Structures are given as structure tokens and as C-alpha cells.
């Protein structure tokens, strides 16, 4: 009985599965489907990072980085362009170094 995955996997996963004596069934995605699958993979990896014990967090962060690198190429950007965009946003809105956790906002009375 086949085990269903229906998700994007790293390039060598089918080869690894075959080396274990199993038969993977896979296909190559078109560009639009690839972007959708990468976004789903990013969400999956983010959930795994959120749930990971401290000692496994670096591995999960590496997985997230790999997905972000692939997604960057898939949307037609270079890594340098992505880093420049991140730097621009950091300049305009700040980073996360100050650990600010916004709880509420008191709205001003509007006329």
C-alpha cells in the first residue's frame, strides 16, 4: 500500500528512497506549481522550526534557508537582490534586534 506525501522534497530524496528498496513515484513541477509548492514547503518548515526542540532548531533553520533560496530563484530574483531588499526594509522599519513585542495600540480619536 503506497504512503501518500504530495509535497515538494529535496532533489536526492527519490534516490534515497530507492536505496532503501522502495519505489518512489514523483514528477517535475512546472514553474507556477513549483512556486506554490515552495510556499507550502516554507510554511511546513516554519511550523517544524516552531515545534523543534532547541537542539534541532539549527537544522530546521537550514531547511528554511534552503527553501528561501529556491523560492528567490523561482520568482526571478538573485540572492543579492533579496538581501538588498531586506536591508532596505531594515533601514525603513527596523530589524528585530530590540525584541519589541507589540501588545496593543491605543487608537487616537478621529474627527
Tell me what the pLDDT averaged over the chain comes to. Answer: 96
- What confidence tier does 1 reach under pLDDT thresholds 50, 70, 90? confident
Residue 33 lies in a domain: yes
How many domains is the chain partitioned into structurally?
A: 1
Q: How far, in Å, are 11, 42, 90, 94 from residue 85 at the CA level?
A: 28, 19, 9, 13
Residue 109 has pLDDT above 90, yes or no: no
The pTM assigned to this predicted structure is: 0.88
pLDDT digits (tens, 9 = 90+) for 54-108: 999 999 999 999 999 999 999 999 999 999 999 999 999 999 999 999 999 999 9
Residue 28 lies in a domain: yes
Residue 68 to residue 33: CA distance in whole angstroms: 16
Residue 73: give the domain boundaries: 13-93
At residue 110, the pLDDT reads 74
Amino acid at each position: 500500500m503506497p504512503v501518500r506525501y504530495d509535497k515538494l522534497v529535496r532533489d536526492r530524496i527519490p534516490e534515497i528512497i530507492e536505496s532503501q528498496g522502495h519505489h518512489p513515484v514523483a514528477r517535475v513541477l512546472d514553474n507556477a506549481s513549483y512556486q506554490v509548492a515552495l510556499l507550502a514547503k516554507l510554511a511546513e518548515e516554519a511550523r517544524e522550526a516552531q515545534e523543534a526542540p532547541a537542539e534541532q532548531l539549527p537544522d530546521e533553520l537550514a531547511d528554511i534557508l534552503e527553501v528561501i533560496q529556491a523560492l528567490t530563484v523561482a520568482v526571478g530574483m538573485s540572492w543579492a537582490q533579496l538581501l538588498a531588499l531586506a536591508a532596505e526594509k531594515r533601514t525603513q522599519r527596523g530589524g528585530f534586534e530590540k525584541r519589541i513585542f507589540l501588545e496593543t495600540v491605543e487608537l487616537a480619536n478621529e474627527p
